[in-house]
Amino acid sequence: MAEQTKDVYGEVIGCDEMHYAKVNEDSGTKYEAATPEYLAPTAEIQTNPTVNTSKRYYDNKVRFIDVTEGDTEVKIVVSGVPCSLAAKLTGKIYDATNGKFYDTGDLSDTPYCALSGRMSLGGGDEYRYFNYLKGKFALGGQAAKTKEDGITVNTTELTYTAAVTVHKFQVDTDKLSGAKAVKADTTDAKFTGASTWFSKIQTPPEPVSGQSAQSSKAVSK
């Protein structure tokens, strides 16, 4: 009997293990994020990268096509967000002495955070692990309705906008670049880091000593 191989084209069935971590530093010399913390029970996640296409015509035909990618918007539907977590994600005030959340209407202190999670491939034991290195959260509205005979479930939607880091990593042998995301599939035999994925924010390698920053093209796949 022929040896069975993993289905590398498994459909995305579900998502779980959403984590976040505050980005402590993102500069030309250093990228550092805190230890990831559990975000919330997740019902749904959707990623929407901003892709711009520009066409240039010559002799009445398309001669050149330029494609650029901007930020990525990540919609996350969770069961709920406690006030203490809302303060951490938005930079607003939570008074731990009395358990009160103070909404100042000011988002200027919203911190940069990294976001990690995984998606189930094929509904079995295979996963796509991912993390975005730098972005900001925005909390959506909430709805509540008086109890009736039926069951009404009201979830909470978070919007996370991911951007490319200032810090440049060794993304390829001869290329330094900022990075937006790191992803890996357990169906790939070369990937062995699933058990430690959420212990820290995963990044590309740091620059090799003496490597010059010859490219600033953002990695955002």
With cut-offs at 50, 70 and 90, classify the pLDDT of residue 221.
very low
pLDDT for the residue numbered 150: 64
H helix intervals, 91-210: none
Determine the straight-line distance between the first and last CA of the chain, rounded to whole angstroms. Answer: 38
217 pLDDT above the threshold of 70: no
Q: Where are the domains of the chain?
A: 12-143+150-199
137: β partners? 160
16: β partners? 118
Looking at residues 174-191, what average pLDDT do you find?
Answer: 94
Is pLDDT larger for residue 131 or for residue 123? Answer: 131
Work out the widest C-alpha separation in the chain, in whole angstroms.
71
Q: Which residues contact 70 (CB under 8 A, 6 or more apart)?
A: 49, 50, 51, 52
pLDDT for the residue numbered 6: 65
Cα distance between residue 57 and residue 75, in whole Å: 36
44: β partners? 77
Other residues' Cβ atoms within 10 Å of the Cβ of residue 214: 9
